[in-house]
Amino acid sequence: MTSEPADARGAGPVRRDDADVLVVDAANVVGSRPDGWWRDRAGAAARLHERLVATDLGADVVLVLEGRSRDGVPEGTVGRVRTVHAPAAGDDAIRSEAASAARRGRRTRVVTADRGLAARARAAGADVLGPSRLLDGLATPEPRPDEDPGGP
């Protein structure tokens, strides 16, 4: 059984033609894999951002950060990835970003497994992709010299 909404699941990783804009629920995507992210939320956000920047997804990406994860990546744009710091609830910022892109006629997908947020995204005119579809398609960065390549 999966926690992703049924229509968010799909075969294989995100494809270049899936959307014009991907709005990423960073907390949900990072939290979808138990790799120790809870010990360093800012670091987990930075690693996700690095992978998004390193991967040509064929879409503009809006990475929405909330809480302590905001300390890992400054607001701004790097390549096709724009980082947004949610002032309060990340879900509200994600829905707002998705609605704005959809109103401009852009094919928009929200990346989340949160069923409530998925329903709000669809109501705003966006489709939904599950975190696994995104993560499976991202580049894996080279380990930094100060990191243990064996993992956490």
Q: Walk me through the domains of the chain, giving residue ranges and CATH numbers.
A: 6-135 (3.40.50)
pTM to 2 decimals?
Answer: 0.84
pLDDT of 10 over the 50 cut? no
Mean local confidence (pLDDT), 19-42: 92
Residue 141: its pLDDT value, please? 66
pLDDT-derived band of residue 34, with 50, 70 and 90 as boundaries?
confident
Residue 98: its pLDDT value, please? 96
105-117 core/surface letters (b: 16 or more CB in 10 A; e: else): ebbbbbbbbbeeb
Mean local confidence (pLDDT), 2-15: 48
| Burial class for 16, CB neighbours closer than 10 Å (0-12, 13-18, 19+) | exposed
Mean local confidence (pLDDT), 118-140: 92
Q: Write the pLDDT tens digit of every residue in 61-92.
A: 999 999 999 999 999 999 999 999 999 889 99
Q: Write the pLDDT tens digit of every residue in 89-105.
A: 899 999 999 999 999 99
What is the average pLDDT value for the chain, to the nearest integer?
A: 86
Distances (CA, A) of 84 to 3, 45, 62, 70: 25, 12, 7, 9
Give the Cα separation of 40 and 48 in Å (integer): 12
Residue 1: its pLDDT value, please? 32
Q: What is the dihedral of CA 72, 40, 140, 35, to 10 degrees?
A: -150
What residues pair up with 85 in beta bridges, in sequence order?
65
